[in-house]
Amino acid sequence: MSFKKMITLTTEQNRRYKKLYADYKIMSTHPEKASPKFIINTPCSKYTWEEILDDSSKMLKKDLTKLQTHIKLQDDRVLTTRVNFGTAQIAAAFGCDMYIPPNNLPCAKNHILTDITKVKELKTPSYTDGWYKKLEEFTSFYKDNMPENVFIQLPDIQSTFNSSHLIRGNDIIFDFYDYPELLEVLLDRVTDYMIGLTKYLNKMINHKEGWFFDWGALWKGNGRISNCTVHLISPKMYEDYILERDKRFLKAIGGGRMHYCGAHPEVIHSFVKDNFITGLDFDSSLHDLITVSKMLPANVPVLTDCSEGSPFLKTLLDGKWPEKKNIILNVYANSMESGKRVLEQLRESAMKYQ
């Protein structure tokens, strides 16, 4: 089939997306002039993950079919695709075996570093080890077949601590107390690899320096790190061992945003001590948007998600909006019809109460 014909934009649609990308940039450059953005996700694909992971054409078709729903809704989703092999790709490159659960993304099956005293023997992988050679092949297929005006998103790169945890396993918690110096060797090894890998992957997807697509939006910087696993450690441990490495990584790639789906709110104060952070997303079921918005610098956009009919969505529609204007809401709706209704309600509410 011709994938290039799956997305064809009219002159008016092209104009709308050009303005949308400019509006996303305003969120970081002139946050006082920003307005909330809404991404409405509706059911659209029947492929299983087993099918998608085995066939680049099916993965691309799924992505483009999804984009068709957003074009029809006229929401604020950017036109991007993404080769998605899950969150354990760095761990796999270092040597961890991978396991694919039923109809799900691959995950780490084991931990390659079972003895922290052998960390100095841990070899730094190439950028084609593990699943990265397959990712390169899928990316090449995407680049050859994508429609005009559709961009490729950076693959998942996780973060220093997330990947170190997968490489080492839960014993990494004991390493903070028993072998802190050796733990730092592991953390530095992963950080250094991530820096080079991210630059390599950005070149692979023809990324334009300074702004990057991620999670359906456009962000300042050149990549995103996911700090989910810092939920397992204290904010002090994060600041003592991880923060400086996150800073080093984000500085090296030219800034980027952070994902956090953990429950501890205190660590968010630590995240924003990183001067190179350009955005934050969090789970709305764990943290309050108004509270988090007050923690962030004005020029750091915030993204959160919710489902149609959720209590959080109801509070927004009832007028409980933060003062912060550079916010992005990712909503999961039950159908195109209800998604369109929710989008209209959110835009009306934001205009009225913000």
Per-residue b or e along 45-57, where b marks 16 or more CB atoms closer than 10 Å to that residue's CB = eeeebeebbeebe
Cα separation, 214 vs 83, in Å, equals: 12
The count of structural domains within the chain is: 1
Note down the domain range covering 84. 3-353
As a whole number, mean pLDDT of residues 128-139 equals 97
- What's the pTM? 0.95
pLDDT tens for residues 68-91? 999 999 999 999 999 999 999 999
Secondary structure class of 181 (helix, strand, coil): helix
Q: For residues 268 and 282, is the Cβ–Cβ distance under 8 A? A: yes
Say if CB 331 and CB 38 are below 8 A apart: yes
pLDDT level of residue 46 (50, 70, 90 thresholds): confident
Segment among 175-184, 259-268, 297-306 with least mean pLDDT: 259-268
End-to-end CA distance of the chain: 45
Average pLDDT score over residue span 186-212: 95
Q: How far apart are CA 39 and CA 197, in angstroms?
A: 29
The confidence score (pLDDT) of residue 12 equals: 97
Provide mean pLDDT across the span 86-98: 96
Q: What is the CATH number of the domain that holds 137?
A: 3.20.20.210
User: pLDDT tens-digit profile of 317-332?
Assistant: 999 999 999 999 999 9
Residues ≥6 apart with Cβ < 8 Å to 331: 38, 39, 40, 41, 305, 306, 307, 308, 313, 339, 342, 343, 346
Please give the average per-residue pLDDT across 223-244, as a whole number: 95
Cα-only R_g, the chain: 20
**Which whole number is the average pLDDT over 100-113?**
95
